[in-house]
Structure 1
Amino acid sequence: MTSHTASESVASTQEDKRHRLRLELSPSPGQSPVDGAWWPRTRDIDLELADLVDHFPDHLGRIYRALYSRSDWTSHPRSVATARRRIRTAAFPRDDTHLILLSFSTRRSLRLLVVPPGHATGERLMQWATHPLNRLTGAQLLSTRAESEDDDEEFDDLWSDVGGNWWQGSRAPSFRTDPPAEGDPPPSS
């Protein structure tokens, strides 16, 4: 008979949490500048990309190639070994977009924001990147987040509408004029 102590359960839970793939995918890929966000734990592309490929949702297809932003990683390999095979990799030339472009066996591709490891608000940044109304690129998301790190309300205002209106009525004003009725003189300018 095997007995488990509370500390073993906590250690197991912490290990599961540590190894969980931090990935968010947009509900409608291709509609925004980014199709999701990935938050690797280190800047070691060999380790992190292998983890991403090995644990990526199977229903989207098999990843066979990855293009990455050089500034996100400490090395720049031409291929990375995964559990099943090696995948081809390449860096975007002269790029600082903080994206990784994944190509799939289904001929689909996804553009993922690469959230820097250790980012203070990485989870929230991943949520913003996958929000259906997001129209910001990866670099814009990261710079906007960096500029408003101390003021969460300012960043939240990019996405939320408090429902108020400047016209203070129940209907928005219309600046359109109705066409003149038949027989009316044309408007004078």
Structure 2
Amino acid sequence: MTATIQYTSAVEDRTPSSLPLRLMLAPAGTSPALVDGAWWPHSRDLTAELPSLTAVLDPLWGRITRVTVNPTFWPVVPRKVRVAGHLVHVGWFKAEQDPHKLLLLSYTTGRWDLLVIPPETGQATAARLMTAATDPLRVLTASGLIREAEFFRIAAEADWDSTRELVWDAEGGQGASPRMPAARRAVPEGTAPGGGA
């Protein structure tokens, strides 16, 4: 099942709950994996972010009754969050839960794990992470997906920098010596053009 992803830049006067939900779920019927999709919240405020997430997931997965997180990246973990007329209990596990994963429980259907993409992630990296998290052949944990995306981001930046440096040098940038035709080069007196005396 896939939910629509809308990439909208954050506007400062809008609350996270009024911004479009950024969520992608693995296709229905795929074999169980380490994550069932990816969620890219607009902030690290669970009280503001969870209502829109669970409102979308309730009709798909059954009423979400409990959510757990690793508090590493969540400054405040509320005990309960009101969602569409019911309460969702929120808990946390520091050592037992991947810091980049959100675990959702439904009392009627089961459990789902979502990769949580950090809110400050760039759009291209977030899109790559959402695609990787919903790939039926994926085998990485949530933190493994984040590490892989960071590796690709750094490699892309390094490639971009080296390309710019090559262009800079080719166009006479720093380190490039001015090119003068061989016939005009001055040869010091008493030396042969080949460098010998």
Cα distance in 1 for residues equivalent to 2:49 and 2:30: 22
CA contact (8 A) 1:29 1:35 kept: no
Residues 20 and 57 of structure 1: CA distance in aligned 2, closer, same or farther (over 3 Å): farther
Task: Tell me the distance in 2 between the aligned counterparts of 1:143 and 1:61.
Answer: 32
CA deviation after TM superposition for structure 1 residue 127, in Å: 0.8
State, as a whole percentage, how many aligned pairs show the same letter: 36
Give distance in 2, aligned partners of 1:145 and 1:19: 24
Runs of 4+ aligned structure 1 residues displaced above 3 Å come to: none
Alignment partner of 1:146 is 2:150: yes
Matches within 5 A, 1:1-189: 19-27=19-27, 28=29, 31-56=32-57, 58-94=59-95, 95-120=97-122, 121-151=125-155
- Cα shift readout 1:64-87 (whole Å, capped 9, x = no counterpart): 110112123120111112232211
With CA pairs under 8 Å and 6+ residues apart, which has the higher RCO, 1 or 2?
1
RMSD: 2.3
Q: Which runs of 5+ in 1 are unaligned?
A: 1-17, 153-189
SS in 2 for 1:20: coil
Contact 2:73/2:99, CA 8 A, preserved across alignment: no
Question: 2:4 matched to which residue of 1?
Answer: none
Q: Which residue pairs with 1:163 in the alignment?
A: none
In the aligned structure 2, how far is the partner of 1:41 from the partner of 1:29? 28
Unaligned runs of 5+ in 2: 1-17, 157-197
Counterpart CA distance in 1 for 2:20 and 2:58 is 13
TM-score by length of 2: 0.63
1:15 corresponds in structure 2 to none
Bigger radius of gyration among the two:
2
Q: What is the aligned length?
A: 138
